[in-house]
Structure 1
Amino acid sequence: MPELSDVTRGRLVYGGDYNPEQWPETVWLEDVALMREAGVNLVTVGVFSWGRLEPSPGTFDFGWLDRVLDLLHENEIGVSLATPTASPPPWMSLRHPDTLMVTADGVRMSHGSRNHYCPSSQVYRHYARAIVTALARRYGEHPALRLWHVNNEYCEVCYCDGTAQHFRRWLCEKYETLGALNEAWATAFWSQHYGEWAEILPPRAAPYLRNPTQVLDFKRFCSESLLQCLRAEREILRAATPEVPITSNFMGLFAPLDYWQAAAEQDFVSHDWYPDLTDPTAHIGTAMSYDLMRGLAGRKPWFLMEQSASGSHGARRPPGHLRTQSLQAIARGSDSVCFFQWRASRAGAEKFHSGMVPHRGPHSRVFREVTALGRDLAELPDVVGSPVPAQVAILMDWDNWWAVSGAHLPASIDLLARLRDFYEPLWQLGIVTDFVRPCDDLTKYPIVLAPNLYLLTASDADRITSYVDEGGTFVMGFFSGVVDEHDHVRMGGYPALLADVMGLRIDEFLPQQGSLSCTSELLGEFTADFWADDLSVTTAEPVAEVAEGELAGTPVVLRNGFGEGTAWYVATRPEPAAMRALLAHIASRAGVTASPQPEGVEVVRRGELLFVINHRPEPAKVVVEGKRVDLLSGERVSGATELPRYGVRVLR
């Protein structure tokens, strides 16, 4: 099977989305000249060009795209050729209005933007297959073609009647009988018993809470519907060009599509990332998204498909920051640095989105930085394909995310915030993490963290139990082990199947509106908030407890020996310093070395290289062990060394 190495060919990929159809052909020659100056070696073409490629049904106009691909090939620039199926042209919605998506409130979308199609529409799927087939036949053997980019940022969710029919077919295949569905959905509650398949609808707008299992199954169905679209395009491309890699771009921690399943359908994982540049800790969330991509890729390199060259979320990227974030991606496993887009648009809804060539043109700070970054990446061929070692895993499961997002829960659980509660202290400690599923092999990690596992299957509980029993260290956050795969509560006390592993049983949840004063011999005095549990200790040892008030004496951190391993339960949200101290202690006990750096400084090993990155606008000093050479500057580095603002060293 083709893979990312067929695209990189021994060097880091550098480029971005190229939209030549927005410009006169006279500009194209300047574009390729500037691309060569900047060191660009690959561009994505055609993402939103369906209307130009097929101006009327079945009538194709490929002449302009022929000229573009020929020009890029003549200038030794490879092409990531996109299927344009994320944005159907106006003729489709005019002739087939049922291809337009409908919201949960019953509002049918119109064309004039993007991503307006219904993934379940057979008409949409027919035309999508047709345009993809035409592209594959025409360009499958073009020498510029390096990879296929399928669709763009799959995210569509529809509630129309066609979707309802598709949902029923999916449910019939899943449950086979209405009796099984009624049991799974607990339809005895609120008189929801279904006597015919035709009675079942998507979870549209309702006067009060929807059936949680219906909502969960609809989210599963929507993800599967998008996967069906992806598979259909992939199979056409695979049949025509079996040696050309296929990918589709993800968007970090994004709910509608199960990225574990989607990653398995592609030859490598791609990522679009636009951090909030007004957030001084955005680099931590960025690192978390990059680590997730590496996990989705099976600990293999991944592909940074999009980022901004000059800003995002209305904020300007400060001088030097483009290089910092880009090399952070390389440090955490990417074999590419690409942007949206090559040339900033002069019209349209995203005309103030950034570009590698901004409105000012090549005589600009942004283009100078783009060109300098191209030179930096050319100095790092040895990093291509190399791994990023990690000794700690964080469990991330889309089924659990969908289930724990329900409006019917005791408190509003933001899974991304819970992940960040565990991830950020590890980042500050210099501990690199992998994201894995509960069903994956956990034995390679000394520590496995589960910030939240509200939904836990029996097989995953068995795997976690075996992991701890055989010597692993497991750390679990609150509101975990509560329901099964149908979102039914497991009776007998939480965390049910993991109660013996954790050495405790929870009788009642105690969401908190204010803060808790806590005490611990290990952690000292600290505050916590958001959650507590009314629990009974069986074999666990309380490590921290509430110090005063109505809950005085209630354990909030517990440790339990189980078999050859140890399980920790964090029953609240400790303040950041306490959480960092707790995870540092757990890491030390498990033999995982922490290497904390000055605030805002990140040190990551990839292969034989050490990346040292300063994310702050002020200089920082770090200590480098041994004698090393900075591949970017050629300097020899040893002992204490200063990193300038947004400075990066790549040390051999």
Structure 2
Amino acid sequence: MRPSLRDATRGRILFGGDYNPEQWPEKTWHEDVRLMRDAGVNSVTLGVFSWSRLEPEPGAREFGWLDRLMDLMHEGGIGVVLATPTSAPPPWLGRLHPDTLPRTEDGRTEWWGGRQHFSHSSATYRRHAAAITEDLAARYGGHPALTMWHINNEYCTADHGDEAAAAFRRWLRARYGTLDALNTAWGTAFWSQGYDTWDGILPPRTPHYLKNPTQVLDFRRFTSDMLLECCVAERDIVVRHTPHIPVTTNFMPLFFGQDGWRWAEEEDVVSVDLYPDPRDPLGPQHGALVQDLTRSQARGPWMLMEQAAGPVNWRGVNHPKPRGLNRLWSLQAVARGADAVCYFQWRQSRQGAEKFHSGMVGHAGERGRSFQEVKRIGADLAALAGAVTDTRIRADVAILHDWHAWWAGAQEGRPSARVDHAAVLHAWHRALWEAHLTTDFAHPEHDLGGYRLVVVPQLYAMTDAAIDNLVAHVRAGGTLVTGFLTGVADEDDRIRPGGMDPRLRDLFGIRVLHEWWPLETGESADCDGFRGTLWSEELEADEDAVETVYRGGELDGLPAVLHRDRAWYLSTLPEPDALRALLARIAGEAGARPVLDGLPDRVEAVRRGDLLFLLNHEREPVTVAVPGTHTDLLTGDRITDRVTLGRYAVVVLRG
């Protein structure tokens, strides 16, 4: 049995962040340890971008500085998440081996001088990455400071070069077996694209006009798989040396380029980087969505690998976090299942591309607000650790998400470029979040038996198994709510008969889907009791299945919302308040209840184990009814029947 996050936490909540001491003179390192201990830091990530320091020229090994750091961390009681440095190859690798550099779809080479400049298909890159990983694992596998391995960093590189093209062809041979099968899957009868030899197949490079959408879909699948091959190769090396040490690699939030469900199966610890915009009023909902998805991928506790203590450096205008917001969002992650709360980075850089990205110790030093807030967060996490680590969150509602459906629906020649899968997903999660309903995420082929309500914001492409799974959920007594553009295509992006799979049309009572009617910016569709946005459809349905109709315009009197037994279909996207009200009503009828009744707007409530987290996402105080007597684990205060939450305040109640 593989180790888990529990083996790294050992009853603590991990707290710390990326530590890049090679940017600083060694005399700073001892000062860093003092400040870390002062702040309650118990974990640092070392080596993420250290390849050129570890291997300054081909075959050289400079481990002395890392030896001293590992020893120093151990002496200070601080565990080390040791990273393989393979996300940032040294300049000499690209200079001596140009085949390691990725190429874009128009043939442009991505040069060294930044990071992620590697071709996932390059045998040379993989050989050098394996060599440095092997030596790291051999040298530090037995070091007492080592608590976890961190493979690479934010895998995201696509490659359209010649070596990737050859790998793509091998991947396609394994998937399809024959050219006839590939030509059928890709629909190459259209536009005279039929292939007579495997050697004629390329990655989807820049064409005169639109690309073949199934070719693009398969290339996205291939890219995810190739990056995963790189990750697994390094993982297997460190596991061979340290089978007792858990392994992770960090996801980016709701990242388009990886099949997150498949990747999570290969990790001992699922971790994510999360950077909501402090100026965005929906920032906390975005955070909740990413946290719910990551917890669901982990099937339990997870790791917040990166967040910002203050501003980032990559938005057009980079705002700091107002006083208290860093603490609020850190504890939100714990509420939603995190057993590790970490940052990029420990000490803010003075040079380089990210010198304006905040650190736990900012340019202002230990007297700065960022560090003072970090100290408070460290104390909070220490107070909570014994009560929350390795506890679970129970949800009655599942939101279905599939990267393959997202990839397929993002093609160039679609009915509306305004329809963005991630934005639709956010809209539906927001409605449930504002209704104070806790949600898991699930793959459409997962077992849905434990959920009272299953929500499908949009799954453009679905396998037969996924469709059968949804139908079975309803037949077994569960409730299903599905949004527009769901079940339209199969896994090869082939439109299903009638524009929606017949099994789903039967489930919802749809006789004919005549036309899709996407809406322009600023355009809406009036319906009984609400306005629809973004999309509408010309449907013919069984009379007993019609819940709501369109009013006015071309679709006047035609079905907008269908409801048959426990299955619902929304052919438009209701405005936020209407979507929230509708989903709250359906959830209530299905037996899914809010975490706490009568909660004010912008107060978030989450139950983790036997604890109730209440988080105020407003600057103004608010009073919340909490019947009974409770203890706030953060302060030790006794609370009876009601509690007042100040600006960006959090209470964690037991009892």
The interval holding the TM-score normalised by the smaller chain is over 0.9
Cα distance in 2 for residues equivalent to 1:617 and 1:644: 7
Q: Which residue of the other structure, out of 494, 505, 521, is the alignment partner of 1:499?
A: 505
Cα distance in 1 for residues equivalent to 2:291 and 2:509: 34
Look up the equivalent residue of 2:451 and give its one-letter code: Y
Match of 2:492 in 1: 486
Contact 1:481 1:497 in 2 (8 A): no
| 1:462 maps onto 2:476 in alignment | no
Contact 1:390 1:432 in 2 (8 A): yes
Q: What TM-score, normalized by structure 1, do the two folds share?
A: 0.97
The 5 A counterparts of 1:95-134 are: 95-134=96-135
Cα distance in 2 for residues equivalent to 1:93 and 1:332: 42
Match of 1:570 in 2: 570
Deviations for 1:193-237, whole angstroms, at most 9, x for unmatched residues? 101111001001112110011000000000000010011001101
Contact 1:458 1:497 in 2 (8 A): no
Look up the equivalent residue of 1:478 and give its one-letter code: F
Q: CA deviation at 1:409?
A: 1.1
Cα distance in 1 for residues equivalent to 2:297 and 2:459: 19
Q: CA deviation at 1:550?
A: 2.1
Look up the equivalent residue of 1:67 and give its one-letter code: R
| 1:24 maps onto 2:31 in alignment | no
Helix, strand or coil: the match of 2:405? helix
Cα distance in 2 for residues equivalent to 1:63 and 1:389: 47
Cα distance in 1 for residues equivalent to 2:527 and 2:115: 53
Q: CA deviation at 1:578?
A: 1.0
Q: CA deviation at 1:517?
A: 4.8
Match of 1:434 in 2: 440
Match of 1:337 in 2: 341
Helix, strand or coil: the match of 1:553? coil
Q: CA deviation at 1:640?
A: 2.6
Q: CA deviation at 1:635?
A: 1.1
Q: Percent identity?
A: 51
Q: CA deviation at 1:539?
A: 6.5
Cα distance in 2 for residues equivalent to 1:579 and 1:371: 40
Deviations for 1:160-195, whole angstroms, at most 9, x for unmatched residues? 111101100100111111111111111111010101
Deviations for 1:402-454, whole angstroms, at most 9, x for unmatched residues? 00111111112211111112111111111000000011000100000011111
Match of 1:270 in 2: 271
Contact 1:517 1:527 in 2 (8 A): yes
Cα distance in 1 for residues equivalent to 2:4 and 2:534: 44
Q: Which residue of the other structure, out of 628, 633, 636, is the alignment partner of 2:635?
A: 633
- Compared with structure 1, are the counterparts of its residues 185 and 540 closer, same or farther at alpha carbon in structure 2 (3 Å cutoff)? farther
Match of 1:403 in 2: 408
Cα distance in 2 for residues equivalent to 1:280 and 1:574: 20
Q: CA deviation at 1:642?
A: 1.1
The 5 A counterparts of 1:373-452 are: 373-380=377-384, 381-412=386-417, 413-452=419-458
Look up the equivalent residue of 1:139 and give its one-letter code: Y
Match of 1:608 in 2: 610
Q: CA deviation at 1:364?
A: 1.1
| 1:166 maps onto 2:167 in alignment | yes
Match of 2:376 in 1: 372
Deviations for 1:222-256, whole angstroms, at most 9, x for unmatched residues? 00000100110011011110000000001110011
Q: Which residue of the other structure, out of 299, 310, 323, is the alignment partner of 1:319?
A: 323
Q: Which moved more, 1:324-333 or 1:637-646?
A: 637-646
Cα distance in 1 for residues equivalent to 2:488 and 2:552: 28
Q: Which residue of the other structure, out of 614, 617, 628, is the alignment partner of 2:619?
A: 617
Match of 1:302 in 2: 302
Helix, strand or coil: the match of 2:80? strand
| 1:598 maps onto 2:600 in alignment | yes
Cα distance in 2 for residues equivalent to 1:264 and 1:442: 18
Cα distance in 2 for residues equivalent to 1:492 and 1:364: 62
The 5 A counterparts of 1:4-23 are: 4-23=5-24
Helix, strand or coil: the match of 1:79? strand
Q: Which moved more, 1:168-177 or 1:311-320?
A: 311-320
Deviations for 1:366-389, whole angstroms, at most 9, x for unmatched residues? 111111111111101210000011
Contact 1:38 1:371 in 2 (8 A): yes
Q: CA deviation at 1:493?
A: 4.2
Look up the equivalent residue of 1:197 and give its one-letter code: W
Look up the equivalent residue of 2:343 and give its one-letter code: F
Q: CA deviation at 1:644?
A: 0.6
Match of 1:290 in 2: 291
Look up the equivalent residue of 1:87 and give its one-letter code: A
Cα distance in 1 for residues equivalent to 2:12 and 2:236: 28
Cα distance in 2 for residues equivalent to 1:517 and 1:131: 59
Match of 1:543 in 2: 547
Q: CA deviation at 1:67?
A: 0.2
Look up the equivalent residue of 2:311 and give its one-letter code: G
Contact 1:515 1:527 in 2 (8 A): no
Cα distance in 1 for residues equivalent to 2:523 and 2:383: 51
Match of 1:585 in 2: 585
- Compared with structure 1, are the counterparts of its residues 540 and 387 closer, same or farther at alpha carbon in structure 2 (3 Å cutoff)? farther
The CA RMSD over aligned residues, in Å, is 1.1
Q: What TM-score, normalized by structure 2, do the two folds share?
A: 0.97
Contact 1:430 1:596 in 2 (8 A): no
Q: Which residue of the other structure, out of 510, 515, 518, is the alignment partner of 2:526?
A: 518
Cα distance in 1 for residues equivalent to 2:537 and 2:325: 43
Match of 1:509 in 2: 516
Contact 2:148 2:246 in 1 (8 A): yes
Match of 1:473 in 2: 479
Q: CA deviation at 1:519?
A: 4.0
Contact 2:498 2:513 in 1 (8 A): no
Match of 2:152 in 1: 151
Q: Which moved more, 1:587-596 or 1:164-173?
A: 587-596
Match of 1:347 in 2: 351
Contact 2:453 2:479 in 1 (8 A): yes
Look up the equivalent residue of 1:588 and give its one-letter code: G
Cα distance in 2 for residues equivalent to 1:499 and 1:560: 11
Look up the equivalent residue of 1:502 and give its one-letter code: F
Contact 2:508 2:545 in 1 (8 A): no
Contact 1:428 1:597 in 2 (8 A): no
Look up the equivalent residue of 2:601 and give its one-letter code: E
Match of 1:175 in 2: 176
Contact 1:502 1:540 in 2 (8 A): no
Cα distance in 1 for residues equivalent to 2:245 and 2:534: 50
Deviations for 1:138-168, whole angstroms, at most 9, x for unmatched residues? 0000000000000001101011111101100
Contact 1:393 1:449 in 2 (8 A): yes
- Compared with structure 1, are the counterparts of its residues 75 and 437 closer, same or farther at alpha carbon in structure 2 (3 Å cutoff)? same
Unaligned runs of 5+ residues in structure 2 are none
Contact 1:182 1:194 in 2 (8 A): yes
Unaligned runs of 5+ residues in structure 1 are none
Helix, strand or coil: the match of 2:498? coil
Cα distance in 1 for residues equivalent to 2:73 and 2:252: 28
Q: CA deviation at 1:597?
A: 2.2
Deviations for 1:584-614, whole angstroms, at most 9, x for unmatched residues? 1101110111345222110100001110001
Deviations for 1:514-554, whole angstroms, at most 9, x for unmatched residues? 5345343xxxx321122111111137521111111221112
Match of 1:185 in 2: 186
Look up the equivalent residue of 2:470 and give its one-letter code: I
Deviations for 1:477-503, whole angstroms, at most 9, x for unmatched residues? 001111111001112342433111111
